[in-house]
Structure 1
Amino acid sequence: MKGHTAHAARLGLERGLREFRHTLLSADQTFNLFVMVAFVVVLVLQRDSTVEGTALSLAAVTMPSSLGMIVAFNGLVGPAGQLAVNREDGTLLRAKAVPGGVVGYLVGRITQVSLDALISATCVLVSGLIVVSGLLGGTNWPLLAAVFVAGLLATMPWGAVVGSLTRSPQGAMGLTMLPMMGLTAISGIFYPIYGMPQWVQGVAQVFPVYWVGLGTRSAMLPDEAAAAEIGGSWRHLETFGVLGVWALLGFLLAPTILRRMARRESGADMEQRRQAALQRGSV
């Protein structure tokens, strides 16, 4: 049984790598190019402003914060959209019919989402280097990698839950994009969180977006920059604690919902969703 599962996981890894290579040549890279241009514009507008209590430019703080946002965005939106699409096009139903197919499918999705997040984060880094110089020299790379992994673990299972509960890719996008936009606005990504009302700061600290952003800032900014954070500290213990709780709850909940969703998948349901997609496309 263990050997069978390992074989399915290995096939899933190969599939995820293959699909990732395919996306590198797809229109998705146009979106990454747009993201790079957009970040350059934002950073240029911010580079002459400084963060209160520090000598750092606002652009220097926004760049690592944006890395955190990208990690959380890919971890939540990526699995939700892909799972919803794969339910609609029959990919998940075919995986269900093959021994170990669901395990392989999930490993493939995790692989692709993680690599997509890495590419998106690299785009942010490259765009940041155009405007903010000298930032990478003091980066704590092991800490940055740990925050990257913890952020994905804290968000990917919740993206899978949303993708399992929605009936269409549009529904999955609506239930992930809108909350992400709201959380980004209040989580100190583009503007220091100390400028927010106290109750807004409290709400932001419940969710992973703020903590991933804080973690990436702590890995890339000098220690004195912590003066602009809540409590005047990078709060590493709290960062990994909150992200760990979200990951633990997500991985406890997601498998049950995914198994239930997979059991209910049928050819009739897939055909119904396909017809609904065709009707949306003809409107």
Structure 2
Amino acid sequence: MNTVPVRAGLRRGRIEFRQSMTNPTELWNSMFFPVIALVVMFFLRENTVPGTTFSLGTQSIPGILAMNFMFNGLLGLGIILTMEREDGTLLRAKAIPNGTLGYLVGKVTSRAAVTVVGAILPLAVVSLVFDGLRLDVVTLLWVLVLGLVAVLPIGAILGAVFKNAQAMGFMSLVVFLLLAVSGVFYPITALPEWLQWIAQVFPLYWLGLGLRSALLPDSLSAVEIGESWRHLETVGVLGLWAVVGFVFAPMLLRRMARRESGSTVAASRAKAMQRTM
């Protein structure tokens, strides 16, 4: 295997990550939604989870971190791929031997790093403001790693399937709908059973559940489905999403790269200009 494009991609990913973390606009974009959600939960911290004396605001913290994981990872990677197809960045990478592989490695590396920071940085802050949080480092690490390999390939698939960033807005709407049914802001057991089943199909619920198991007292598992953290099921569902992603993402990304040409980029730019007029 030629490791040169992989090394070049990793180097590119480190550079892009550093740029993201030193650019105030990009940093704010990565943290906007969790900051707003955490402020709301701060004012709700005196409310309690039904049937317990535990703060509802604190109980929601892991779900908010899972939400940001989806925004920065799945949606973030998909939007970047569609935008850089439109502006010709992918076409320029394609002109270099093995440039497409290096480009994709770089994007996945930078997005993975931004996604992890988007989960860890807010956690460091909220631990000083919200009472009742604990930290199971081992559980937190495997949930974050498994979450990355589950959502990033799906984000790459979306970036390969949707032809422009505007179309990715549809997926943003889907994620917002999932937020309402995945137990992010309120225990999922308070929802109708049919909504609980829908939520359990998607990775957002399982990311939130895994993070709750790492950050909340074990007694809070009583308000979860089955009154358990369900670690085996979390591994199973996130692992299944990862397998689906790793099977289809390479095929769709190769097809996307093959179809890129000067004419397709010009057509995409023309459509983008029409949308802004």
Could you say whether these structures have the same fold, taking a TM-score greater than 0.5 normalized by the shorter chain as the test?
yes
- Superposed, 1:1-283 pairs within 5 Å as 2=1, 4=2, 6-26=3-23, 27-32=25-30, 34-35=32-33, 37-133=35-131, 135=133, 138-172=134-168, 174-281=169-276, 283=277
Unaligned runs of 5+ in 2: none
Task: Write the letter of the residue equivalent to 1:233.
Answer: S
Give deviations 1:120-154, integer Å, cap 9, x for gaps. Answer: 2134214423530352xx31112111111111211
Q: What is the total number of aligned residue pairs between the two structures?
A: 276
The TM-score with structure 2 as length reference comes to: 0.94
- Distance, in Å, in 2 between the alignment partners of 1:200 and 1:34 is 27
Letter aligned with residue 170 of structure 1 = Q
The DSSP-based 3-state class of the residue aligned with 1:170 is: coil
Query: For the residues of structure 2 that align with 1:257 and 1:35, how far apart are their CA atoms?
Result: 30
The answer to whether the Cα contact below 8 Å between 1:95 and 1:105 also exists between their aligned partners in 2 is yes
Give ranges in structure 1 of 5+ residues lacking alignment: none
Q: Percent identity?
A: 46
**Contact persistence 1:93–1:267 (CA under 8 A):** yes
Which one-letter code corresponds to 1:158 in the other structure?
I
* Of 63-72 and 24-33, the range deviating more from structure 2: 24-33
Give me the whole-angstrom Cα distance separating, in 2, the residues matched to 1:219 and 1:121: 13
- Give yes or no for contact 1:65–1:216 (8 Å, CA) kept in 2: yes
TM-score, length of structure 1 as denominator length: 0.92
* Greater alpha carbon shift after TM alignment, 55-64 vs 122-131: 122-131
In 1, distance between residues paired with 2:38 and 2:258?
Answer: 46
Give the aligned CA root-mean-square deviation in angstroms: 1.6
Distance 2:138 2:119 in 1: 15
CA contact (8 A) 1:43 1:128 kept: no
In structure 1, the residue corresponding to 2:166 is in which secondary structure?
Answer: helix
Q: CA deviation at 1:240?
A: 0.7
The amino acid across from 1:196 in the alignment is L
Structure 1 residues 182, 36: closer, same or farther in 2, change over 3 A?
Answer: closer
Task: Show CA shifts across 1:166-224 (max 9, x none).
Answer: 2211112x132111101111000001101100000000001000000000000111111
Which stretch of structure 1 is more off in the superposition, 67-76 or 105-114?
67-76
